A and B are shown apart, each in its own frame.
Chain A
Amino acid sequence: MVTYEVNVMGSGFSYALAIAKKDLITQMRKRFEAFSMFLFAIIAVFVLGLVLFSSTFIIADSPTRIQVMTEIGSGMLWVVVFFTGMFGFSPVFISESETGTLKGLSLAPIPGWSVYLGKVIYGFLLMGLVEIFLVPIAMGLLGFAFSPEISPLFILITFALGTLDLAAVGAMASALTMPAESKATVYPIVYFPTATTALILLVEITRMLAIGLPIIGPGILELLILLSGHVFAMVMLSAAVFQFTLTA
């Protein structure tokens, strides 16, 4: 028989990483959730690309077509990510609630915000994984490219902030949906209004990056700062009130 003294005093961030790691391992073993997210995104991009291509067919030889494809296609990419996120983020708490394992997290001596942060990190990594494959395919099918004058770093920052924002909103929406009987109805009602702010900003920033507007000066940088503010507000506010979703 082992005798031991347990001293519980870890940091909230390490607990969040443990939760995210657990979710990723679980997800990798299930596979179908990430795959179904990816499949949905590809089909959506394909259909939207087809519509965009056929509706601009009449101006096929005009330089206007490239401009139209760039402006609309870059926005459509985020619309697809937005809906794919709904697919991926909704189960983060709902599935734990349905299997009863959320009780295990609620009983652990860890702050509520670390449970929330763990789910946000997991959602961010899962969505990021889908985006690594989705973005190049979407660029091809929706017919747009980022301006070569724009540093790839800004593109990366935009996608990272956008994905983090949607993961933060998606995780909180999932948590708030847990007590509802009709989860499939309640989830989009909670997710849509809060995530739409980020969606509008992301569509505009990505459009600017695609047409090659200068980073410094009015436009991209200001919107990126606004987006960062939205991410910060969403994560901090959700983390602050998350504890109340765990105790009835």
Chain B
Amino acid sequence: MVSIHVDGLTRRYGYRVALKNVSFEIPVGGVHALFGNNGAGKTTLLRIISTLLQPHAGKVEVFGFDIEEEPIEVRKRIGVVGDKPLLYGELTGRENLKFYSDLYDLETSTANAIIEDLAERFDVKRWLDEPTKILSTGLRKRFDIIRSLLHNPELFLLDEPFSGLDKDSTEVFRNYIEDKREDRTAIVTTHNLALGSEICDDFITLRKGEIVGKGPISEFDGNI
């Protein structure tokens, strides 16, 4: 069973090629690292998989759904955390999470239970009713992680998920991913190669938009 199937993917920004004929498959379950220097194409790849960008050539499927033909089916199954929290500063943490749970069509009682549970787990209960604009970067990041988990996604797309998180929050999030690794798939981009090597099962290395290495994490030599 495959969670992501990428075949001959190419994406350009003007004349600059961000991804060039990229092909790979990622199985269901486990944590998979996407390594590469700045500008290697990691974020572009995640943006395409999460339906935010269209490929210029090639095919991308998430759980068998084509990202161009059935983007809504893809979005139901993914949870995305990026470098910038997708929160409205004027709204409280709870209001933000309720708003997103409305977009995921969660019943009010279910949404409340999920929010309480995740807030407990990520230790943000005390800040649930504070406007997010007054919270620290780390707390906003925690709320953003909760936002991405509200609909219990099958695939986590995590672009530098640990940046801005303190040691405790990193540990909590890491444990969450560990708990889910049996039946949920996570793709993590990180510059923290040590952490990436610790939590991931395998890796793909991108350089200048091309795959230059992939395999089990035990074979990763630290060269990106």
Contacts and interface: CB of A to CB of B under 8 A. Distances in A.
Nearest to B106: A6
For the side of the interface on B, what is the size category?
35 or more
B205 interface: no
A5 B116 CA distance: 16
A9 to B, nearest CB: 6
Contact of B86 (A29, A103, A110, A247): A103
B89 interface: yes
Contacts of A110: 72, 103
Given A2-B114, A7-B105, A8-B76, A104 B100 contact: yes
Interface stretch (B19-27, B47-55, B192-200): B47-55
Given A2-B114, A104-B100, A110-B103, A29 B90 contact: yes
B174 interface: no
Interface residues of A, number: 32
- Max chain B C-beta neighbours (<10 A), residue from A4, A9, A26, A101: A4
Contacts of A6: 104, 106, 110, 151-152
Contacts of B88: 22, 26, 99, 101
Nearest to B85: A100
B106 A107 contact: no
Interface of A: 1-2, 4-10, 14-15, 18-19, 22, 25-26, 29-30, 99-101, 103-111, 247-248
Interface of B: 50-54, 71-73, 75-76, 78, 80, 82, 84-91, 95, 99-100, 102-106, 110, 113-114, 116-117, 121, 131, 147, 151-152
